[in-house]
Amino acid sequence: MASLRDIEKKINSRKKTKQITKAMHMVSASKLSKAEQNAKSFVPYSDKIQEVVSSIAANDSNIQHPMLKQREVKKVGYFVITSDRGLAGAYNSSILRTVYRDITQRHKSADEYTIIVIGRIGRDFFVKRGFSVAKEIIGIGDQPNFADVKELANETVQMYIDEEIDELNIYYNHYVSAISQEVTSRKLLPLTDISQGSGSKSSYEYEPDQEKILEVLLPQYAESMIYGTLLDGKASEHAARMTAMQNATDNANQLIDELSLTYNRARQAAITQEITEIVGGAAALE
């Protein structure tokens, strides 16, 4: 059995760990509140630009734009959103496992796909396995703004317009609640179902003409979808880290309780042994 001093050291170590995880839980909870607000605040803008774009696409069937046309898929782009740091439970591993499965099942050659990744953990995962990473961005803050991702979003959309890729899929953790996040994948480009829109019947007048407006709005719409997804993913990241730190704190408490019980038993046994030795010594002297 370990000595009392060894057990006491373990208890003190677990208490220090508990202080760290509890502090990280509180920080993540604070960040989650702001991230959740950011994600919700972006929804009205996203819905409105989708409504306008849908209205134009639905009202003029003669409009030709590469982002609206389905073409033969020769190369697929995978846009993956992960975090720069760990300690977030299964937040990163669940996304990366899903992307890895889809790529290996769908493609037999690296020429058939390319990856655009946000987050150090995702970047390192794909690079280590020899996957083709076309673009990456790391170091995005906990509360990102559009400027942080604008260049990457613009370059990604341009890859589709220039026919470097023929399909773009995005993978991220969708924020459901503070204790629930869902790995989500959806096709971002082409926008073949954009005419379905949000069901709004609003009427618009366009100048100079609908086709020229779409040339500007469609890339902006795709870029806004990427940014909105990033906000959603950030909220999920903070929620996942908050939950992970709460679980770690609970585990630390359980270990401290178990070690304290072991310590008390060992201490009681030591005291009992000392009393026995004293009594035995006294009896020997009689």
CA 202 centroid distance within chain: 35
Closest CA to 183 of 219, 229, 214: 229
Residue 276 pLDDT exceeds 90: no
Is residue 56 pLDDT above 80, yes or no? no
In this predicted structure, what is the pLDDT of residue 204?
65
User: Is the CB of residue 263 less than 8 Å from the CB of residue 11?
Assistant: yes
Q: Which region among 68-72, 74-78, 119-123, 221-225 has the lowest average model confidence (pLDDT)? A: 68-72
Which pLDDT belongs to residue 263? Answer: 87
ω into 44 cis (within 30 of 0):
no
Window from 109-118, 165-174, 268-277 with minimum mean pLDDT: 268-277
- Rounded to whole angstroms, the Cα distance separating 17 from 193 reads 50
Looking at residues 79-98, what average pLDDT do you find? 94
> Across the chain, how many H-helices and E-strands are there?
5, 5
174, pLDDT greater than 90? yes
pTM of the model: 0.86
- Is residue 241 pLDDT above 90, yes or no? yes
Can you tell me the distance from the alpha carbon of 197 to that of 195, in angstroms, rounded to the nearest whole number? Answer: 5
- 3-state secondary structure at position 135: strand
What is the model's pLDDT at position 105? 94
Q: How confident is the model at residue 274 (pLDDT cuts 50, 70, 90)?
A: confident
Residue type, 167: E
pLDDT of residue 195: 54
The confidence band for 38, taking pLDDT boundaries of 50, 70 and 90, is: very high
pLDDT attached to residue 63: 66
pLDDT band at residue 61 using 50, 70 and 90 as cut-offs: low
Percent of the chain with pLDDT over 70: 91
CA gap 139, 120 in Å, rounded? 8
What's the mean per-residue pLDDT of the chain? 88
**pLDDT tens track for 184-215:** 999 999 887 765 554 455 666 767 777 777 88
Per-residue pLDDT, 202: 60
- CB-based contacts of 198: which residues, under 8 Å, 6+ apart? 47, 50, 51, 54
Q: CB count, 10 Å around CB of 119?
A: 24
**Residue pair 74/166 in contact by the 8 Å Cβ criterion:** yes
Mean pLDDT of 54-77: 79
Predicted confidence (pLDDT) per residue in 8-33, tens digit:
899 999 999 999 999 999 999 999 99
The order of strands in the sheet holding 113-118 is: 133-137, 113-118, 76-81, 167-177, 180-189
